[in-house]
Chain A
Amino acid sequence: MTHSSLYWEDVSEGEALPVLVKEVTATTIIAGAIATRDFYPLHHDFRFAQKAGLKDIIMNNITTGGYLGRYLTDWSGPEGDIKRMKFHLGMPCHPGDTFTVTGRVTRKYEQAGQHLVDIQYEVAVNMGDHCTGTATMVLPVRPAE
């Protein structure tokens, strides 16, 4: 199986990343909670979530971070490295939500010998913005001919 990666030269400021859409089920949330080792009951116990003032269980933030990381490297390909991620969490993600990630390149630059891009992204769920944030990635440069 071959895997292609983006070169830094091929990326433009303002360019949109492909949209990631995931239909979220209770299984998505619980599989994420287990894979991230997060047994806080809010992520698997419906009654506990209701007592905490929520309508249902919610995706844990580590799973949100996992999907964001995947969104970034799905775009860059495996030769891209995530250097930094920062996000603000808003509306919770419940079973039955459509989790939609959109983003764009806001800056392309060189720093300390690395070829970098900054990306701004947001995740929409049924109640509104689940998450908004930024990331910095290191991309490979096109080899000399």
Chain B
Amino acid sequence: MSLLPILLAAEAAVHQQAVRRTAYRHRAIRDEPFVVVVYNLAGEAAAPLAFLYGTDPDAGKLVVAPEPRNREVRFACINAFCADLVDYIHPFLETREQLVGNLGHQYPLEVALDAPQIVVPNRATRDYLGTRLGRSLRYLGLGKTHPVPEATQWAGAHLSWLAEHARMPGQSVFLAATELLGRHFVTGQSSLEDENLATLLAWIRNEQGSGLGAIRRAEDQRIAFGPVPDPGLDQRLESHVQAFGRAVRAGDEKTQAEHRRAVEDLVREPLAVAYRATHEALDLMRPIPEAASVDKRWEADVREWGAHARRCSRQIPRFSRRHEALRAARMLELWSRAQEDLEIEEAFDDPLVMAEFDAEGRCVSGSVLEVDDENYEIKPGNKRRSQVPLVRLLASTAPELLEGDETRWTRDRRLGGAIRRITQTRRGWEVEIAILDGHNRGERLPAERETTAFVALSTFGGRSPDGPDEVPWTHRLRRDEPLGGDDLSGTEEAAGVGDAEVVLADTEDEIGPDLAPEEVVAPPGVVGRPDEIPGVLL
């Protein structure tokens, strides 16, 4: 592992200010991303108490469910949010027919023109919106589920797509501010603590050497930036939530309005802080010059979005509960390949990212002593001699690469060469690199006396040994061996239910939490006192 991130963290800790991890910005930031902050009722899987969202940093829209355990109240809030989310997303569903594919294998396809961008404060919010809320809305409208407007069903589909796309390394469609900032800055605290957007921003904003006071204050505010509840705020909310619930059952609209206002007043400020902080994170990122490969990755995002848009042009897309084995294997391969590509693209785009490989001893760097572009050799496998320019470097440190290692030029990854010879002279270590490809007839080469580097870094590039319709052994389910003790055979996972045919065996548990009337009237007495166990937080 490279020590560079640790060194940067030490630098940040000693200077009491975050330092840059990258020289460039490696994610796309669109002009008006849709920022969402959400507060979920503690102890419930998907019962949002409030959303604050919008594209305007100064004017987010607040919707609340003063008693999210009541189905009508909860869905009123969810529906309002979903309607606005769909309003934002639907213009991006516009497609246009274009010729795609490689030359000679071109075919017309409806492609999306642009993709939406949704930004949330932290990873927890992203998971909540995608895999919790999105999942809970996904099957509404099918079977005996709670009736909801079509926009809510659309939102369920979009959130489900976003949840899956968020796993694609390097994507910019569904961003978490902490992850975004964490990629580009290093603080003097742990990555665990960096998940708090308030302290992360405080580290970046802190004046060098001004102490940790501002950072501690940001942490002590204990503002809930995500779906994870803030017990203090919950304690203040509780009486209003209960009173609102009673007023709903009594049909007392005046009291309802009163407590709705009280809940709104309590959550508005904390959510607004998180909303502004998320926009602030974007404002910090925007001026950083964009890395060269960002455009390419955004285009890939738009291409993927286009596939979703095509499904949307027919009907509301449905998603399976879990991937069946073949799809799971293929997605895993896709994601790991994207991860590998991302690491390499970022390194060639950005000297600071490349420095991590340099610190690991995977680079040979130094000043160019001589470039011999008159050298001709018979390359392996060839019969005729061809141009093999030789670059001689005076290495700045003892090279850790070996003779024969394949390298690429850090300035232009098209240029590749093998280390021919490493010699120790009076002047220091001299490294000769034979340029084997990408020099464009000697046109693309380092200049003499230039300080530059070559890196041993390339994608594995292998293909999956399995055919496109073959489930690799890693994903085959052995029927005789129950998974984690549970027998899955016979369930829909084993049966491989595809997206089109979703079976809702039991719709009761799709509708979400709701208190039975008798439970509301007589909640069980709380036995024991709340958290008195030292050192417990789950």
A in complex with B = no
Q: Which residues of A contact B (CB under 8 A)?
A: none
Q: Which residues of B contact A (CB under 8 A)?
A: none
